[in-house]
């Protein structure tokens, strides 16, 4: 009887061990993607100077830029100069935010170098005028940071307009997110479908992050890939 109990105990544990071994040997493997949906790279479309003259296409029900993004199911970031924003500006921003676009800060006055005293007021203006928007990112007017440490007291990231072709997948300094300028204004920036697609291809080939800084866009066409 003792032998039988021991025998059954041994068999049960042997089967359990075999089951565990079998389960371990057939356990699924997991892969962590660098970017969503295991894409090879990422691209962010950002628009500067909203609220100033010549930028009306970026947001709102009548904005050709936002309409183009909405038609493709894409989202953008719209950086607002809050001191120049009118009631119509904020109405358009609220419309864009409801469609999933990010509304962010581009300073209060768009001075040569943004003073640190504008960091909190510009953020608060966006929060107050676009309910629900946290305003956690900023783009520096004229590409001049008011100070990286000061920026990161209020924002999780700041975008410059350095000529770096593609930002690495894990930026070393989130207060200095690089971008590439596009647009039809006096900047002499690239502004064709080929230019955009080449930039996106650079991101894919390097597993990196392409950040588009759009300037002076009179009309916009979003070219699907």
CATH number assigned to the domain comprising residue 198: 3.20.20.370
- Beta partners for residue 6, in sequence order: none
The pLDDT, as a whole number, for residue 11 is 37
Number of H helices, E strands in the chain: 6, 7
Query: What percentage of the chain carries pLDDT values higher than 90?
Result: 48
Residues 146-176 pLDDT 10s: 999 999 999 999 999 876 668 888 889 999 9
Residue 66 lies in a domain: yes
Q: Does 225 reside within a domain? A: no
Other beta carbons within 10 angstroms of residue 121's beta carbon come to: 15
Q: In which band, very low, low, confident or very high, does the pLDDT at 114 lie, cut at 50, 70 and 90? A: very high
Whether residue 223 lies inside any domain: the answer is: no
> For the chain, what is the domain count?
1
| CA dist 146 → 138, 152, 176, 204 (Å) | 11, 11, 11, 32
From CA 189, how far away is CA 102, in angstroms rounded? 24
95 lies in some domain: yes
Would residue 49 count as lying in a domain? yes
Residue 7 pLDDT greater than 80, yes or no? no
Instruction: Give the per-residue pLDDT at 62.
Output: 67
**Does residue 186 form part of some domain?**
yes
In a domain, 28, yes or no: no
Judged against a pLDDT cut of 80, whether residue 6 lies above it is answered with: no
Averaged pLDDT score across all residues of the chain: 82
pLDDT band of residue 218 (cuts 50, 70, 90) is: very low
Starting at the edge strand found earlier in the chain, the sheet holding 157-159 runs: 157-159, 137-139, 102-105, 77-80, 42-50, 209-215, 180-183
pTM of the model: 0.81
Render pLDDT for 67-104 as a digit per residue (tens, 0 to 9).
Answer: 888 888 999 999 999 999 999 999 999 999 999 999 99
- Give the structural domain span for 162: 40-215
Residue 8 domain-assigned? no
């Amino acid at each position: 009887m003792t032998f039988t109990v021991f025998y059954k105990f041994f068999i049960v544990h042997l089967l359990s061990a075999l089951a565990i071994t079998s389960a371990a040997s057939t356990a699924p493997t997991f892969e962590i993607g660098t970017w969503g949906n295991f894409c090879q790279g990422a691209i962010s479309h950002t628009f500067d100077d909203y609220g100033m003259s010549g930028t009306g296409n970026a947001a709102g029900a009548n904005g050709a830029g936002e309409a183009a993004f909405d038609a493709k199911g894409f989202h953008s970031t719209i950086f607002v100069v809050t001191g120049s924003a009118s009631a119509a500006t904020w109405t358009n921003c609220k419309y864009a935010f409801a469609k999933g676009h990010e509304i962010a800060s581009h300073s209060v006055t768009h001075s040569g170098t943004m003073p640190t005293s504008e960091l909190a007021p510009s953020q608060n203006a966006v929060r107050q005028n676009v309910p629900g928007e946290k305003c956690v990112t900023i783009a520096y007017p004229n590409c001049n940071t008011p100070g990286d440490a000061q920026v990161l007291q209020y924002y999780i990231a700041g975008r410059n307009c350095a000529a770096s072709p593609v930002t690495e997948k894990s930026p070393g300094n989130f207060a200095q997110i690089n971008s590439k300028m596009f647009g039809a204004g006096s900047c002499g920036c690239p502004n064709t479908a080929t230019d955009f697609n080449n930039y996106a291809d650079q991101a894919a080939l390097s597993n990196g992050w392409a950040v588009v800084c759009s300037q002076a866009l009179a009309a916009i066409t979003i070219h699907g890939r």
